[in-house]
Structure 1
Amino acid sequence: MKRVCESEYSADRITDLPADVIQRILMYLPIKDAAKTGVLSRKWRCHWRRIPELVFDDDFAQISSDLAESESKVMNKQVMLNIYRSLLLHDGRITKFVLSVPGLIACREIDQIILYLSTKGVQHLKFVFTGGNDEEEGDFQMHSSLFSVSRLKSLKLQSCEFKPPSWFVGFTNLTRLVLEYVTSPVDFFRDFLPKCPMLEYFRAIYPDGPAGQLEIVAPFLKSFIFVGYFQNISFKCTPLLSYVVLHLTESETPDLVSLFASLPALEQLYVNNEVMKYLAPSGRNSPTRLPIPLHRLKVLEMNTLVFDGSPMECVFVSLIMSSPNLHRLTVQLCDQPAGSEVSCLRSLLEAGDCRGSDCLQHLRKFRIEDSRGTQVELDLVRFVLATASLLELIHITPYKKLGTKKVTKFMKEAIQYKRASKEAEVRFYWDDDEE
């Protein structure tokens, strides 16, 4: 009887898996490994050809940068040939396609791939080029058929030219857009974003030149990240925008204060020193609350700050005064420029307006990144400890080259300040292996 039971359950469990389960398993494997599963059984032989998500990345191929030019071209042709073969054997719809092979040179064969994908109902596209352009005529220009993909929900492009044709009417289903080192028309943001009415997430990196006028019209946008240089920025219709990152390399914008009036839902703000410079109208020498208080702002991070007696300190204090519900505050100061004036931050922090009843009353965590052990940083620690009645933690990470003596001196002074919160701790996270 026991042998009979064993016989009943001796069927190949792998072979008997439902088709949808097999598909899910294969989607977690690199394409090369998925193709090899055909040896498991006859039923598995063709399943890999119906995977709806095709990912060609470093698991699929990788072209070494050490290769000679002739060898690199041969490798590129071989990689493209293998991709063509995979698409030729594929049978079914393709919902996701990723081409991110390290060292791959963009070539005109990719146009045929884009044209093919535009007929497959693709919803998620990612093209990352790192090896340049085989024609050596600037950035590789994405084929116009990309703009006819009506079902597109997410798009990421890196190191290419992205120029919408005149007949482009929009990506009505696009919710996520990432553009990194992409060349686009000067008025791209003003003309393109309104044609993506469902956009929720947008990230752009434009380090090498001005991105023109950033006129953002996106009623469903929740996250906006921009790194680079723009001439001007304005948020025209962004009632849901809660997460903003602005890291500028340069800007011609004379005053960014007005941008907060269009961000009623702002909860997280990350800015760098260049943004802070343009938050201050010229001539300001004392901190004032912003025209539109940032009542919903809970996370504020300011990087690469320089406090040298300029209006920067006023901007810093103004932001704190205008954000009564902050939960997390992070600052990172750079080395002070030679010959700079002494910072006036301490006197500004101790002014009556800054010590108002609503300043930092909800702050839980304060963080100093790459601490230089300066008096300005000590003034910040002193102020936060004395003001934040709900404070839980001050997290200080010293600059890696600061040195043991300076870190120790800074620690001894920082931990002795009076605290408004009984729960407040001051912790240092420092790796002194080099000492």
Structure 2
Amino acid sequence: MPPTGKKIHCPDVLSNLPEDVIDAILMFLPLQDAVQTSILSKKWRYYWCRLQALTLDRSLWKTEKDKEYPTTKLMKHLTLQYCLILPPPDFTGFDRLIRLELYDVTISSKSLESLIGHAKFLEHLALVNAPVLDISDHIQINTPKLRFLDYTSSIRSISLVNVPLLEELCLTSDEPSENSRICDIATFFESCNSLEHLHLSYDNIKVLAEGGVPKRLPFDLTCVKRLCLCIGFDEVDVVLCGLCLIRSFPYLQYLEIEMKYCCVDVPALECLEVEGCSDLTFPHLIEVKLFVIGSIPEMQFIKLLLSKSQVLKRMLIESWIEDIRRIDKRLDELANCWRASPEAEVVFDLNKVPYNNPV
């Protein structure tokens, strides 16, 4: 017998096992038990994160005490990253899901639609770099309680079918989609009656412009207060698409535009001339942030904003051009051009790094 009061130090047999053996043991445990091994020691804290397959079913939240304190009524948040989702054929989604975020997750459009469609309480949805298994697939977002959507893929592969409460929409894409589906700009936004904040990337604006651009949408989205766009001012259709959206947001207060890199000396665009835009006004625009390279159409657009914004308070103009002398003259013209708002302040902040590095 050891002396009274002395601790017995037993060797940590489990922690000394080869890592592939530990992984095999965890794979045979229910997910809840596998996660609980993280409290064994600092060394075991993240072993369960190496599991190559996770089984997400009702056993995770259903307990023996459910008769007295039913956990099946609990709302759920689910975030997955760097994985492949292969649900069983009878998968019907999570009916209590309110927040779903998928980062670099591969999933079929059918499974994704099922996952989203059965989440009747879903309010927050982020699909970031989440490719579907078939690039020709199309996803319908039919979630009546959805308030936030962040989708980083081509706008061709998504439809907003029933989103009456959607407040913030971020649609970004770094590469053109191979999907040949035409996306009609009016049809895409017709169910966004509560939209307040819209962020559109350059590639997705190009997609919207391909189907033909009206002067304005057949309806006004009166809730939109903030608009962020990336536009190439050397492409008329893209510019017209941006103007169409701006015309359709009569209560716009904050506008942020990044000018995609183009030739500095591109010719002027008639659609940006102040004289030809008598129907275009910004009666509620308070603040503007622009990232420019100093092209002629950019200067036209800035003059248009200044001459049509009666309550504008601040316009911040940023640029990453190394040779400031190339645009100094044009910026001097802007500093002295006429402004509809006597309180409008124009601030220049040059040699800035571009938001999305358009070069």
The TM-score range, normalised by the shorter chain, is: 0.7 to 0.9
Matched, 1:262 2:188: no
Compared CA separation, residues 253 and 211, structure 1 to 2 (3 A): closer
1:413 match: 333
Structure 1 letter corresponding to 2:90: W
Structure 1's 377 and 105: CA in aligned 2 closer, same or farther, altered over 3 A?
same
The separation in 2 between residues aligned to 1:379 and 1:310, in whole angstroms, is: 14
Select the residue among 28, 51, 54 that pairs with 1:107. 51
- 1:291 paired to 2:215: no
Counterpart of 2:181 in structure 1 is 253
Structure 1: which 4+ aligned runs deviate by more than 4 Å?
83-86, 88-91, 114-117, 281-284
For residues 216 and 187 of structure 1, the distance between their equivalents in structure 2, rounded to whole angstroms, comes to 12
Alpha-carbon deviations, 1:383-424, whole Å to 9, x = none? 11111000011011211x433323533432221111111110
The question of whether the paired residues in 2 share the 8 Å contact of 1:253 and 1:278 is answered with no
Identity of aligned residues (%): 23
Does the 8 Å CA contact 2:78/2:100 hold for their aligned counterparts? yes
| Structure 1 residue 362 corresponds to structure 2 residue 284 | yes
- Return the alpha-carbon distance in structure 2 between the equivalents of residues 89 and 324 of structure 1: 54
2:95 match: secondary structure? coil
Q: How does 1:140-155 map to 2 (within 5 A)?
A: 151=74, 153-155=76-78
Task: State the match for 1:350 in structure 2.
Answer: 274
| C-alpha contact 1:349 1:355 (8 A) present in aligned 2 | no
- Per-residue deviation at 1:280? 2.6
Equivalent of residue 114 in structure 2, options 166, 179, 191: 191
Select the residue among 203, 216, 220 that pairs with 2:141: 216
Aligned to 2:13: none
Name which of 370, 373, 389 aligns with 2:294. Answer: 373
Counterpart-to-counterpart distance in 1, 2:233 and 2:97: 42
Q: Secondary structure at the match of 1:262?
A: coil
* In structure 2, C-alpha distance between the alignment counterparts of 1:236 and 1:212, rounded to whole Å: 16
What residue is the counterpart of 2:153 in the other structure?
228
The structure-2 alpha-carbon separation of the partners of 1:207 and 1:368, relative to structure 1 and needing over 3 Å to count, comes to farther
1:88, distance to aligned residue in structure 2 (A): 4.5
Q: Closer, same or farther in 2 for the Cα pair 1:289/1:202, shift >3 Å?
A: same
User: May I ask how many residue pairs the two structures share in their alignment?
Assistant: 313
Of the candidates 149, 163, 182, which is equivalent to residue 238 of structure 1? 163
Q: Under a length normalisation based on structure 1, what TM-score does the superposition of the two structures give?
A: 0.63
Shift of 1:119: 4.7
Could you tell me how far apart the structure 2 residues matched to 1:290 and 1:218 are?
A: 23
* Alpha-carbon distance between aligned partners in 2 of 1:189 and 1:203, rounded to the nearest angstrom: 12
Cα shift at 1:105: 7.4
1:172-229 superposed Cα distances (whole Å, 9 cap, x missing partner): 2211111111010132333221110000010112366638212001010001110023
Provide the rounded CA distance (Å) in 1 between the counterparts of 2:221 and 2:160: 16
State the AA in 1 paired with 2:247.
Answer: M
In the alignment, structure 2 segments of 5+ residues that lack a partner are 1-17, 27-31, 64-70, 354-359
Change (3 A) 1:115 1:225: closer
Amino acid at match of 1:265: S
Which stretches in structure 1 are left out of the alignment for 5+ residues? 1-71, 92-98, 122-147
What is the CA-CA distance between 1:262 and the residue it aligns to? 1.0
Q: What is the distance in 2 between the residues matched to 1:394 and 1:195?
A: 44
Return the TM-score normalized by structure 2: 0.75
- State how far apart, in whole Å, the 2-side matches of 1:256 and 1:244 are: 17
- Structure 2 residue corresponding to 1:87, chosen from 19, 29, 36: 36
Seen in structure 2, the aligned counterparts of structure 1 residues 211 and 171 have a Cα distance that, compared at 3 Å, is farther
How has the CA–CA distance of structure 1 residues 351 and 203 changed in structure 2, closer, same or farther, with 3 Å as cutoff?
farther
